[in-house]
């Protein structure tokens, strides 16, 4: 009956890239399936700790072999759970569930891939770019990458060799253009042909929201990886809901963990069901 | 180590016979199918599915969850596909397993509770109903029925009448001053069993932004943080009624489950722990067997309600007039 399990992982290294940013490499048993970029894992330190729930982290890298897999995760310490991860040392054990969710997909007629990322959004996008380099289609990759400041531009060294063009913006102007990355993209948007290009984005909600406004008047396809707090990661608790438009044009909630985390940007609703003043505990649609 | 086969884990909850006393708590195990890849559902005493209402419910806006010390707050708001879609789309899958399926039901009105119970009583493959009169995350119904003895009794009577032969278990809220009073009211109204506790109402604030962590502002607290409260209330309920009591709240392992059985719970439900280890219920069943073997018990019933206490009236239980 049982076909999946929570896998034990061993920390290979947990490197501090800045005081807040960490690169975690794990070795996992061979049962860990080959992930699709955009998929994530639920991770927690093994045993009983002060934090109960696993944390969802996007896959940043994967290498599979006969005697096991190696995965990489990139994260920023934002709360108690990620701080607990930051304390992990080489040789220590973690519990991993995954790979989970639906990853990015590439249409057949795409010869230009546009990546737009903010902050930690770089992780799934870099993993995606790396896979694209190994596909037959081998599309051109144009990347827009932004962060608050130079020090928050994590993972550039791995990302830049994977891109034909890399455009950078920081809000304080310490690297690249000054301003938000969606501003830089807006100025160059016309150069991309919607019939041949496909866009992939991941980053903070305000960034995605602005992007959705920018793309509203165009036919450019865009898939985004959405973040939401999760408890189970496998579709059972309904804690990770995000509002989307259904094919029938109605508003409804989808579980980010199993119906996402990758959604079509066009389907995401920013006001209908979300927001702090929305209809609470609303009943039948 | 596989525990000895000769130990009998079976328990009876009214007319409901379970092969072991471990169930999955409503709302933490989806409709069962989400967990099927992670463990053999045939091993479970019962699967209690996510709360069902007459019509589908959208649920609350996000964010719906926040982890808190030794627990979590949720404000899902009873999002569900509705009882008819459950019977059509989810029940056939669950029927394939040798495991009791208990439908958790919810209504905003007495009529709604009645109609949901009626529909389920005519469906094949439902072993019992659990009546949720204790959800803290919805504006109408739920806790509004669970916090008053007369209202709790009325829901129980109406569901019992609509449920035909199905055993009815009523799920109580801890957000009351006197749990014994509610438990007795529900028993007198005809409940076959009671289960407790549902989540404790709680709150958490982002101090940087000065906003609540949940869009719903308040949510239901679950997980090990609530276990001592749950255990105390189960103990009080056991003294107050003679129908079977099912213990829920913060059970993470076999030892925790045993605490509830020892104070008198006939069975237990495991909730939040499923999120942390999807196969935890099976580990708990094996752990109970191992404990019984160690204590030379042949049957789990030998330890139920065997708490040794100095002669004392339980607080709250002693307020009988
Ligand atoms: C995410 C979540 C959803 C829940 N949904 C329901 C529900 O639909 N109906 C219900 O009766 N209880 C629901 N509960 C309450 C649980 O069934 C259980 O009573 C409570 O979580 C305490 O047990 P625990 O500490 O083992 O989780 C829910 C709990 C959680 C955490
Ligand atoms: S995290 Fe539980 S349903 Fe998505």
| CB atoms B272 and A273 under 8 Å | no
Domains in chain B and their CATH numbers? 11-317 (3.20.20.70)
Q: Give the pLDDT confidence of B200-234 residue by residue, as tens digits.
A: 999 999 999 999 999 999 999 999 999 999 999 99
The set of residues, in sequence order, having a beta carbon less than 8 Å from that of B304 and lying 6+ positions away, is B11, B261, B262, B264, B265, B266
CA-CA distance, B131 to B113, in Å (whole number)? 8
CA-CA distance, A154 to A125, in Å (whole number)? 12
pLDDT (0 to 100) of residue B313: 60
B135 is catalytic: yes
Candidate from A229, A235, A273 with C-beta closest to B63: A229
Nearest ligand (C-alpha, residue B28): 1
For B5-14, B95-104, B190-199, B307-316, which range has the lowest pLDDT when averaged over its residues?
B307-316
Which chain A residue is nearest to residue B29, measuring alpha carbons? Answer: A236
| CB atoms B30 and A235 under 8 Å | yes
Cα(A48) to centroid(ligand 2), Å: 21
CA-CA distance, A243 to B228, in Å (whole number)? 37
pLDDT at A137 over 70: yes
Cα(B249) to centroid(ligand 1), Å: 9
A139: DSSP letter: -
For residue A257 and ligand 2, the question of a CB distance below 6 A is answered with yes
Superfamily of domain A7-100: Translation factors (2.40.30.10)
How confident is residue B249, by pLDDT bands cut at 50, 70 and 90? very high
- Cβ–Cβ under 8 Å, residues B252 and B199: no
Report how many Cβ contacts below 8 Å link chain A to chain B: 148
For residue A232 and ligand 2, the question of a CB distance below 6 A is answered with yes
pLDDT (0 to 100) of residue B142: 61
* Core vs surface per residue A28-40: b (16+ CB within 10 A) or e: beeebeebbbbbb
The set of residues, in sequence order, having a beta carbon less than 8 Å from that of A272 and lying 6+ positions away, is A243, A245, A251, A278
State the smallest CA–CA distance between residue B139 and chain A in angstroms: 6
pLDDT (0 to 100) of residue B316: 57
| Token representation of residue B279 | 């196969």
pLDDT (0 to 100) of residue B213: 96
Which chain A residue is nearest to residue B250, measuring alpha carbons? Answer: A52
How confident is residue A282, by pLDDT bands cut at 50, 70 and 90? very low
Which chain B residue is nearest to residue A238, measuring alpha carbons? Answer: B76
pLDDT (0 to 100) of residue A136: 76
Instruction: Name the average pLDDT for chain A.
Output: 90
> In this structure, how many other beta carbons lie within 10 angstroms of the beta carbon of residue B145?
28
Sheet holding B218-222, edge to edge: B65-68, B71-74, B218-222, B200-203
Cα(B75) to centroid(ligand 2), Å: 13
- In the beta sheet, which residues pair with residue A178? A170
Among A55, A232, A261, the residue to mutate for chain B (most B Cβ within 10 A): A232
pLDDT (0 to 100) of residue A270: 84
| Token representation of residue A64 | 């599979």
| CB atoms A280 and B36 under 8 Å | no
- Cβ–Cβ under 8 Å, residues A224 and A209: no
- Cβ–Cβ under 8 Å, residues B267 and B23: yes
Q: Give the pLDDT confidence of B131-150 residue by residue, as tens digits.
A: 999 866 666 666 678 889 99
Q: Which of B100, B101, B135, B186 is catalytic?
A: B135
Cα(B129) to centroid(ligand 2), Å: 25
Q: Whose CA is nearest to atom 3 of ligand 2?
A: A235
CB-based contact (8 Å) between B14 and chain A? no
The CA distances from residue B78 to A20, B57, B164, B203, in Å, are 37, 7, 25, 18
Q: Whose CA is nearest to atom 1 of ligand 1?
A: A237
CB-based contact (8 Å) between B205 and chain A? no
pLDDT (0 to 100) of residue A272: 56
- In the beta sheet, which residues pair with residue A225? A202, A262
pLDDT (0 to 100) of residue A5: 84
Cα(A96) to centroid(ligand 1), Å: 24
Per-residue pLDDT, averaged over B108-120, amounts to 95
User: What are the start-end ranges of the E strands in A66-151?
Assistant: 68-76, 93-100, 112-118, 140-147
| Token representation of residue B114 | 């009645």
CA-CA distance, A261 to A258, in Å (whole number)? 7
How confident is residue A275, by pLDDT bands cut at 50, 70 and 90? very low
- Cβ–Cβ under 8 Å, residues A144 and A117: yes
Q: Give the pLDDT confidence of B144-185 residue by residue, as tens digits.
A: 788 899 999 999 999 999 999 999 999 999 999 999 999 999
| CB atoms B70 and A80 under 8 Å | no
State the smallest CA–CA distance between residue B215 and chain A in angstroms: 5
| CA atoms in the 13 A half-sphere facing the CB of B82 | 11
* H-state helical runs in chain A: 80-86, 122-132, 156-159, 181-188, 205-215
**CA B175 to chain centroid:** 15
Per-residue pLDDT, averaged over A92-117, amounts to 94
What is the fold, at CATH topology level, of the domain defined by A112-228?
Answer: Rossmann fold (3.40.50)
Q: Give the pLDDT confidence of B251-269 residue by residue, as tens digits.
A: 999 999 999 999 999 999 9
CA-CA distance, B231 to B259, in Å (whole number)? 8
Per-residue pLDDT, averaged over A87-94, amounts to 96
The CA distances from residue A114 to A163, A227, A266, in Å, are 10, 20, 16
The set of residues, in sequence order, having a beta carbon less than 8 Å from that of B4 and lying 6+ positions away, is B289, B293
pLDDT (0 to 100) of residue A157: 92
| CA atoms in the 13 A half-sphere facing the CB of B140 | 10
pLDDT (0 to 100) of residue A50: 73
pLDDT (0 to 100) of residue B320: 46
How confident is residue B10, by pLDDT bands cut at 50, 70 and 90? very high
- Cβ–Cβ under 8 Å, residues B33 and B90: yes
pLDDT at A248 over 90: no
Candidate from B62, B65, B108 with C-beta closest to A242: B62
CA-CA distance, A123 to A191, in Å (whole number)? 25
- Cβ–Cβ under 8 Å, residues A257 and A230: yes
Domain map of chain A by residue range? Answer: 7-100, 112-228
Please tell me whether residue A35 adopts helix, strand or coil conformation.
coil
Tell me which H or E stretch contains B153.
helix B149-162
Q: Give the pLDDT confidence of B23-59 residue by residue, as tens digits.
A: 999 999 999 999 999 999 999 999 999 999 999 999 9
CA-CA distance, B281 to B252, in Å (whole number)? 9
Calculate what percentage of chain B has a pLDDT beyond 70: 93
Sheet holding A112-118, edge to edge: A177-178, A165-170, A140-147, A112-118, A197-202, A221-225, A262-264
| CB atoms A283 and B108 under 8 Å | yes
Residues of B in contact with A284 (CB under 8 A): 55-58, 82
The set of residues, in sequence order, having a beta carbon less than 8 Å from that of A78 and lying 6+ positions away, is none
Candidate from B55, B76, B215 with C-beta closest to A238: B76
Higher pLDDT, B287 or A249: B287
Residue showing tokens 């009351």 = B176
Q: Report the nearest atom of ligand 2 relative to the CA of A258.
A: 4
pLDDT at B319 over 50: no
Q: Beta strand pairing status for A165-170 and A55-65? A: unpaired
The set of residues, in sequence order, having a beta carbon less than 8 Å from that of A19 and lying 6+ positions away, is none
Q: Beta strand pairing status for B22-24 and B267-270? A: parallel
The burial of A161, by beta-carbon neighbours within 10 Å (0-12 exposed, 13-18 middle, 19 or more buried), is given as exposed
Among B74, B81, B278, B279, the residue to mutate for chain A (most A Cβ within 10 A): B278
Per-residue pLDDT, averaged over B65-93, amounts to 96
Calculate what percentage of chain B has a pLDDT beyond 90: 89
pTM of the model: 0.93
- Cβ–Cβ under 8 Å, residues B91 and B82: no
pLDDT at A174 over 60: yes
């Amino acid at each position: 009956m049982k076909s999946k399990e929570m896998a034990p992982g061993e920390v290979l290294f947990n490197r501090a890239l800045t005081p807040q940013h960490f690169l975690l490499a794990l070795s996992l048993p061979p049962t860990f399936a080959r992930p699709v970029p955009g998929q994530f894992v639920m991770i927690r330190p093994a045993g009983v700790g002060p934090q109960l729930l696993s944390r969802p982290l996007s896959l940043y890298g994967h290498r599979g072999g006969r005697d096991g897999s190696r995965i990489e995760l990139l994260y920023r310490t934002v709360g108690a759970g990620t701080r607990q991860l930051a304390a992990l040392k080489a040789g220590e054990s973690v519990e991993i569930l995954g790979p989970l969710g639906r990853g990015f997909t590439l249409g057949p007629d795409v010869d230009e891939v546009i990546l737009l990322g903010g902050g930690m959004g770089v992780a799934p996008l870099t993993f995606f770019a790396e896979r694209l380099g190994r596909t037959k289609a081998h599309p051109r990759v144009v990347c827009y990458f932004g962060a608050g400041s130079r020090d928050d531009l994590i993972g550039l060294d791995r990302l830049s060799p994977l891109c034909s063009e890399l455009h950078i913006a920081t809000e304080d102007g310490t690297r690249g253009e000054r301003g938000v990355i969606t501003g830089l993209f807006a100025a160059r948007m016309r150069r991309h042909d919607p019939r041949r290009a496909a866009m992939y984005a991941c980053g903070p909600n305000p960034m995605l929201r602005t992007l959705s406004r920018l793309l509203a008047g165009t036919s450019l396809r865009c898939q985004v990886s959405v973040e939401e707090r999760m408890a189970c990661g496998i579709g059972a608790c309904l804690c990770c809901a995000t509002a989307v438009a259904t094919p029938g044009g109605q508003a409804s909630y989808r579980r980010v963990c199993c119906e996402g985390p990758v959604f079509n940007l066009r389907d995401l609703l920013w006001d209908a069901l979300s927001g702090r003043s929305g209809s609470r505990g609303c009943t039948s649609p | 180590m596989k525990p000895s086969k000769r130990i009998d884990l079976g328990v009876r909850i009214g007319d409901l016979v379970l092969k072991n006393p471990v169930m999955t708590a409503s709302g933490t195990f989806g409709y069962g199918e989400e967990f099927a890849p992670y463990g053999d559902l045939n091993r479970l005493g019962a699967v209690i599915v996510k709360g069902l209402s007459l019509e589908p419910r959208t649920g609350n806006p996000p964010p719906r969850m926040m982890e808190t010390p030794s627990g979590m707050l949720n404000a899902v708001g009873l999002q569900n596909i509705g009882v008819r879609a459950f019977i059509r789309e989810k029940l056939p899958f669950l029927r394939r397993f040798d495991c009791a399926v208990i439908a958790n039901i919810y209504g905003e009105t007495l009529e709604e509770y009645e109609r949901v119970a009626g529909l389920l009583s005519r469906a094949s493959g439902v072993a019992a109903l659990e009546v949720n009169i204790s959800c803290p995350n919805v504006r109408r119904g739920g806790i509004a029925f669970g916090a008053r003895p007369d209202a709790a009794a009325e829901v129980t009577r109406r569901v019992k009448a609509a449920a035909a032969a199905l055993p009815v278990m009523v799920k109580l809220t801890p957000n009351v001053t006197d749990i014994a009073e509610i438990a007795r009211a529900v028993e007198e109204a005809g409940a076959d069993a009671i289960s407790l506790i549902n989540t404790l109402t709680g709150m958490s604030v982002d101090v940087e932004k000065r906003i609540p962590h949940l869009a719903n502002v308040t949510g239901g607290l679950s997980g090990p943080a609530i276990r001592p409260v749950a255990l105390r209330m189960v103990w009080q309920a056991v003294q107050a009624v003679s129908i079977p009591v099912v213990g829920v709240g913060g059970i993470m392992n076999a030892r925790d489950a045993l605490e509830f059985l020892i104070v008198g719970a006939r069975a237990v439900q495991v909730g939040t722990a499923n999120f942390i280890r999807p196969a935890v219920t099976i580990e708990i069943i094996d752990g109970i067997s191992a404990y019984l073997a160690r204590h030379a018990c042949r049957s789990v019933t030998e330890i139920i309600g065997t708490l040794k206490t100095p002669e004392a009236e339980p607080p709250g239980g002693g307020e009988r007039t």
